[in-house]
Amino acid sequence: MLNKPICYIVIPCFNEADVLPISAPLFLNKINELIHLKKIDDKSRILFVNDGSNDETWSMIEKYAVKDEHFEGICLSRNRGHQNALLAGLLEVKECCDFTISIDCDGQDDINAMNEMIDEYYKGSEIVYGVRDSRKTDTFFKRFSAESFYKLLNIMGAEVVYNHADYRLVSSKVLKEFSNFKEVNLFLRGMLPLVGFKSSSVYYERHSRLAGKSHYPLNKMIGLALDGITSLSVKPIRLITSFGLLVAGLSFVGVIWSVVSFFTKETISGWASMTSILCFISGVQLICLGVIGEYIGKIYLETKERPRYIISKRTNKNEK
């Protein structure tokens, strides 16, 4: 290959003023290293996506962009969440690069895995997934909940790579096809496999945050899991149908039993048993209505066709 590919490292940021002074130089050193090794072109860039931060994150990004041409930044008009911020960065650069590498700003993902990702790209992979080789740095609860999260998604029919988050290489060819996906409810790690193309995985060890606090507490992880399941699978609806048929069958047997008992004079008034049955059926109905409501809510949001993000500022002068 005569011309080296152009790479954009896309990094979503939300209130990362504590960690940026540490991680930004690391990203710059890595992209300079890759350029020096002639793996990528000197036109390659680091794109920070400010997801409506309310600290000094955006002003720091602007300063980095002035200091070194390899830094660029875009700022969303308000906080739209990690998935929308990442999508904004990917679609922003899909026409001016050969591939992107998305990574979080906190320094937990091993940036040295980028070398192997690019090697896989040269071998023909259009998507290269960064996969954690272990979770020994996690607490027991974090490890258990995360592993259960991936297993649940697979059981529910969502195509996800086990222990892969959003650290991945994606070619511009894939991004151009992915731009045709218009969903508002995003779960990128489950949507990108739907595009197809040749893919491979690179394994790495995940570290602790360099600084600052995690922006993904348990409630956000649960929300992400719900988005993943309801955006990619209708299996919960089918499970409800199957469970409804089972309960209906048991109820039919109960009706037959009660009729037979009535005619054989074996009926005994039982408040406890009746109350238990009513509570059970009511609980099942409420759970089913909740799951159905979740899907209806997703449909409601999709039909509005609101923009998934709005870019309010860019550091580069030639704004798109």
- Cβ(96)–Cβ(4) below 8 Å: no
- Does residue 44 surpass a pLDDT of 60? yes
Most confident of 197-201, 202-206, 219-223, 255-259: 197-201
Tell me how long the chain is: 320
201: left (phi over 0), alpha (psi -120 to 50) or beta: beta
Q: What is the largest CA-CA distance in the chain?
A: 92
Beta strands in 70-190 (DSSP E): 71-76, 99-102, 127-132, 164-171
Q: What per-residue confidence (pLDDT) applies to 179? A: 85
Q: What are the tens digits of pLDDT across the range 73-120? A: 999 988 888 888 999 999 999 988 999 999 988 878 889 999 999 999
- Does residue 145 surpass a pLDDT of 80? no
- Which position has the higher pLDDT, 313 or 184? 313
Q: Which CATH number fits domain 7-215+307-314: 3.90.550.10, 3.40.190.10, 3.40.250.10, 3.40.630.10?
A: 3.90.550.10
- Which position has the higher pLDDT, 319 or 9? 9
Confidence band, pLDDT 50/70/90 cuts, at residue 33 = very high
Task: Tell me the C-alpha distance between 21 and 211, whole Å.
Answer: 10
Task: Tell me the C-alpha distance between 159 and 161, whole Å.
Answer: 7
Confidence band, pLDDT 50/70/90 cuts, at residue 195 = confident
Q: What per-residue confidence (pLDDT) applies to 295? A: 73
Domain ranges of the chain: 7-215+307-314, 235-304
Q: What per-residue confidence (pLDDT) applies to 279? A: 60
Q: What are the tens digits of pLDDT across the range 119-140? A: 999 999 999 998 887 766 666 6
Q: What are the tens digits of pLDDT across the range 207-241? A: 765 565 665 555 666 666 666 666 666 567 667 76
Task: Tell me the C-alpha distance between 112 and 103, whole Å.
Answer: 12
H and E: helices and strands count for the chain: 10, 8
Q: What per-residue confidence (pLDDT) applies to 209? A: 59
Most confident of 33-37, 207-211, 293-297: 33-37
Q: What per-residue confidence (pLDDT) applies to 119? A: 93
Q: Comparing 62-66, 158-162, 196-200, 228-232, which segment has the lowest mean pLDDT? A: 228-232
Task: Tell me the C-alpha distance between 118 and 124, whole Å.
Answer: 10
Task: Give kind and range of the element (H or E) at residue 77.
Answer: none
Q: What per-residue confidence (pLDDT) applies to 80? A: 84
- Cβ(308)–Cβ(184) below 8 Å: yes
